[in-house]
Amino acid sequence: MQRRTWIVSALAGAALAAAAVPAALAQSTPVSLRLNWYLGGLHVPFYYGKERGFFSAEGIDLTINEGRGSANTVQVVAAGSDTFGMADSSSLITAASKGAEIRSVMSLLNSTGFSVVSLAEANLKTPRDLEGKRVAVSPGDPLGALLQAVCKANNVDCAKISMVQVDPSAKVVTVLEKRADALLGGADDQFFLIKQRGFTPAAMRYADHGANIVGMTIVAKSDLVKANPELVRRFVRASVRSWEEAKKNPGAAVDAALKVKPDLNRQSTLDQMLVDFELLDSKNAKGRIGYGAQADWDQTLGILKAYRDLKTDSPWTAFHTNEFVP
């Protein structure tokens, strides 16, 4: 009887041990993540998670590819060329409303980093200060249209703001050379490019002036979400852990990215990532990485309908799901 009890206990223990074996010991699934742009602070946690083995522990063999803009990333993922992608909510919603079979599985940055970026000496502190000023913007850039929402919320006449059309890479130079008083860009991007040049920047965030939209999302093809929800769940789980651990060890996270791209400016990349940590939350979604609040998504849809000519009657759940967020 004693021997039988021991055998039963041993078998039970073996079953528990087998259940606890990391997915990494099983055959890994190749997965690719297409970034929204070149490697910067926003992307560091994913490189850190890959180095720390968080993705391999979920049975994922992760490849990270740099991007060429959110709109391009959405197209690439919708076409099935990459498994997941990073794209801002406006690019995702615009494409999905026009028939692209794609969906957000993580509402990563629930506050937008979209900002009016300037030199501090320009003394642009409120939206009203923009009247009579020149602002650099890129053709087709959603920031230009969404500035209208900032103007509306603050009773500013946007017609009194002169838009200077420049290539994306020329925005910072245009401001530094005083050919524009400010640029439309990111609090976690051009802000630090100006600082890196030795100047003191300032950022007037859309989110702080009544025009917040959901920022960066993680998108996947709708077919993948339906056909392989467990893979999506494992990827989201590893991504959340990567961001949580990067918040605890920001310096080590940046060092992981530097191993991939040694020419990164370490301090600037770190500063960018710290701003992105601030943007994870909104007033409606706090403390749960990847979770999107209905209020934020509804407001995003409302702003896009009003200022980006979005045509859709679909609810927010047609564009984002929280089902995979731990």
Written as six digits, the tokens of 281 are 């939350």
The pLDDT-based confidence of 168 (bands split at 50, 70, 90) is: confident
Give the span between the Cα atoms of 145 and 163, in whole angstroms. Answer: 11
pTM: 0.87
**For 182-225, what is each residue's pLDDT tens digit?**
999 999 999 999 999 999 999 999 999 999 999 999 999 999 99
pLDDT band at residue 69 under the 50/70/90 scheme: confident
Reading the block at residue 164, the tokens are 């200077």
Q: Which helix (H) or strand (E) holds 286?
A: none
The pLDDT of residue 141 is: 78
Q: What is the DSSP string of 115-180?
A: EEEEEGGG---SGGGGTT-EEEE-TT-HHHHHHHHHHHHTT--GGGSEEEE--GGGHHHHHHTTSS
212: alpha, beta or left, given left = phi > 0 and alpha = psi -120 to 50? beta
- In the predicted structure, residue 310 carries a pLDDT above the cut 70: yes
Using one digit for the tens of pLDDT, what is the confidence trace for 9-39? 444 444 443 444 444 445 899 999 999 989 9
User: What's the farthest any 2 CA atoms get from each other in the chain?
Assistant: 91
Whether the pLDDT of residue 1 is over 50: the answer is: no
| Cα separation, 279 vs 289, whole angstroms | 11
Domains of the chain, each with CATH number or no CATH = 9-110+215-318 (3.40.190.10), 114-209 (3.40.190.10)
Residue-wise pLDDT tens digits, 199-210: 999 999 999 999
